[in-house]
């Protein structure tokens, strides 16, 4: 009881401190393709992630955290704007210039899909400059702003430095690095396939090590509050890792998760998270820094016979409408604000971070944000937020993914398929693996959730597929 009283006094006093404008720093780590079970603290017994696990022990674990989409670009747009991808018009991954990407305005036409019954809306190829990003808002408040790693939100003219970031290391239209090894060049020498502001430094140096070094250098030269948006290219393809770590995992007894190169990518990411956290400690600014660690979508399967990773306890993978495609590992740490070692089961989603940050800064909320302020959850992990969550992917993907929308309302989740195939209804509290479709047993609930989807499509002006 005495410990609880002391903790509550600390929370009250520190929360008042955090309300002072520009009184804290923000490190937002948005990992690429990290699955919900790819960390030790989230159940992996193969990948070794001591630094990220330590971050969890110092902060709060979110066991029902969702990405705004099951693929990257929509989630990245949602993270930076606080809006649903459907509201922005970015609902698929954005093609780079060398892949035929377009910097044109939102296309109003649709595209046919060979052998498929639906015409699907074309994807917006960039994050519009009219959309205010969290970097732009924080820059107005006097923060130094830095982007490191993957951007994947448009071609030149729509890069991080055009969206509120003072410094951009590595961010352009690419969805993955040409190589993780210095000089980070593609084998074919394509100049459109080169990382931005990451010149060769030391042959063979690993890209995530370089990202970590750039952040440490930035921290050492800061004299004002900062916002760092670290979007590691890891652990996206190409699946490769430092040779010593790959060898280590080749010699480790495999479990269900067993890919040595992917394991090396994960552990190297962990090492660099540790490097950055240690620098915050060394500079004595850790206690004044909000750290958010999350992922842009679920883990990638790759070859089913030799999977890149396995989303333990969840169905399916990146790109799919099931929990393995949209559930992500999330940790938030903030000394004296968030209780160390706390866990919340409250469902949260990518758009929630902006309203939460702005509330702690004492700022008014912009109109049109879709995220929820998580301050009450930060300060009490048992706090519940009552709302529905939505996803929208009006495109075909792979052989077995048809255009779909999803709504989660309470414990029920409806997957609606636009091609006319049977909808899927799951009770996530009793069926986390989504094995039993209840749509026929519970038609009233399915109908209620379909109505929620229809209302949400109208409210967000979501673009829907067209039949013949």
What is the DSSP track for 37-81? T-SGGGT-SSS--HHHHHHHHTSEEETTEE-SSSSHHHHHHHHHH
Strand, helix or coil for residue 275? helix
**Residue given tokens 């850790």 in the structure block:** 286
In a domain, 171, yes or no: yes
- Cα 177 to the chain's mean position, in Å? 18
- 392: in domain: no
Residue 109's pLDDT is 81
Of 30, 72, 147, 229, the catalytic one is 72
Is 455 part of a structural domain of the chain?
Answer: no
30 catalytically annotated: no
DSSP 298: P
- Residue 299 tokens read as 């883990």
Our answer to whether residue 229 is catalytic in this structure is no
Q: Report how far residue 168's alpha carbon sits from residue 188's, in angstroms, rounded to the nearest whole number.
A: 25
453-460, Cβ contacts within 8 angstroms, sequence gap of 24 or more:
453/390, 453/405, 453/407, 453/414, 453/416, 456/388, 456/390, 456/407, 457/86, 457/392, 457/405, 460/84, 460/86, 460/87, 460/370, 460/390, 460/392
Q: Could you tell me the CATH number of the domain that includes residue 102? A: 3.40.720.10
Per-residue pLDDT of the chain (468 residues; tens, 9 = 90+): 433 444 444 444 444 444 454 589 999 999 999 999 999 999 999 999 999 999 999 999 999 999 999 999 999 999 999 999 999 999 999 998 888 776 655 566 888 888 999 999 999 999 999 999 999 999 999 999 999 999 999 999 999 999 999 999 999 999 999 999 999 988 777 777 889 999 999 999 999 999 999 999 999 999 899 999 999 999 999 999 999 999 999 999 999 999 999 999 999 999 999 999 999 999 999 999 999 999 999 999 988 888 999 999 999 999 999 999 999 999 999 999 999 999 999 999 999 999 999 999 999 999 999 999 999 999 999 999 999 999 999 999 978 999 999 999 999 999 999 999 999 999 999 999 999 999 999 999 999 999 999 999 999 999 999 986
Q: Nearest-5° angle of CA 327, CA 376, CA 347? A: 15
Catalytic residue among 147, 152, 236, 395: 152
Enclosing domain of residue 247: 2-387
Query: Measured between alpha carbons, how far is 308 from 142 in angstroms, rounded to an integer?
Result: 42
Is residue 418 assigned to a domain?
no
Residue 164 lies inside a defined structural domain of this protein: yes
Is residue 410 domain-resident? no
Contacts of 419 (CB under 8 A, 6+ apart): 116, 117, 118, 402, 403, 465
Asked whether the whole model's pTM tops 0.85, one would answer: yes
Domain contains 85: yes
The domain tally of the chain equals 1
> What pLDDT does 100 receive?
77
In-domain check, residue 413: no
Tell me the average pLDDT of the chain.
93
Give me the pLDDT at residue 10, please: 47
Angle between helical axes of 260-282 and 50-57 (0-180°, round to 10)? 50
């Amino acid at each position: 009881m005495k410990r609880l009283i002391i903790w509550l006094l600390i929370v009250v006093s520190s929360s008042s401190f955090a309300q002072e404008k520009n009184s804290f720093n923000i490190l937002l780590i948005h990992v690429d393709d990290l699955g919900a079970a790819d960390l030790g603290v989230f159940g992996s017994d193969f990948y070794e992630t001591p630094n990220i696990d330590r971050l969890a022990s110092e902060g709060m674990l979110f066991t029902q955290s969702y990405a705004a989409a099951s693929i990257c670009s929509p989630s990245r747009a949602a993270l930076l704007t606080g809006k649903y991808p459907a509201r922005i018009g970015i609902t698929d991954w954005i093609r780079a210039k060398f892949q035929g990407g377009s910097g044109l305005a939102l296309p109003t036409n649709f595209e046919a899909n060979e052998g498929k019954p639906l015409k699907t809306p074309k994807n917006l190829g960039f994050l519009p400059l009219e959309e205010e990003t969290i970097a732009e808002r924080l820059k107005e408040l006097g923060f130094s702003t830095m982007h490191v790693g993957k951007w994947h939100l448009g071609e030149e003219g729509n890069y991080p430095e055009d969206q509120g970031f003072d410094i951009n290391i590595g961010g352009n239209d690419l969805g993955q690095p040409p190589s993780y090894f210095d000089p980070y060049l593609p084998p074919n020498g394509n100049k459109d396939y080169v990382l931005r502001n990451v010149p060769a430094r030391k042959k063979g140096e690993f890209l995530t090590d370089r990202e970590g070094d750039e952040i440490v250098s930035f921290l050492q030269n800061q004299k004002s509050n900062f916002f760092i948006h670290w979007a590691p290219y890891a652990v996206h393809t190409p699946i490769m890792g430092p040779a010593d770590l790959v060898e280590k995992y080749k010699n480790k007894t495999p479990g269900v998760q067993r890919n040595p190169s992917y394991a090396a990518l994960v552990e190297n990411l962990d090492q660099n998270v540790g490097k950055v956290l240690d620098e915050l400690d060394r500079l004595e600014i850790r206690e004044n820094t909000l750290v958010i660690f999350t992922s842009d979508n679920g883990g990638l399967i790759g070859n089913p016979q030799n999977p890149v990773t396995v989303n333990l306890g969840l169905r399916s993978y990146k790109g799919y409408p099931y929990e393995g495609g949209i559930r992500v590992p999330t940790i938030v740490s903030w000394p004296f604000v968030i209780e160390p070692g706390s866990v919340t089961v409250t469902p949260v989603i990518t758009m929630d971070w902006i309203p939460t940050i702005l509330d702690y800064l004492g700022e008014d909320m912009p109109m049109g944000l879709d995220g929820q302020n998580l301050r009450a959850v930060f300060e009490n992990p048992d706090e519940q937020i009552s709302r529905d969550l939505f996803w929208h992917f009006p495109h075909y993907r792979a052989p077995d993914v048809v255009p779909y929308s999803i709504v989660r309302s309470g414990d029920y989740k409806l997957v609606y398929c636009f091609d006319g195939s049977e909808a899927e209804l799951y009770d996530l509290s009793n069926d986390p693996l989504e094995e039993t479709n209840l749509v026929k047993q519970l038609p009233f609930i399915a109908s209620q959730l379909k109505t929620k989807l229809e209302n949400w499509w109208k409210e967000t002006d979501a673009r829907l597929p067209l039949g013949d």
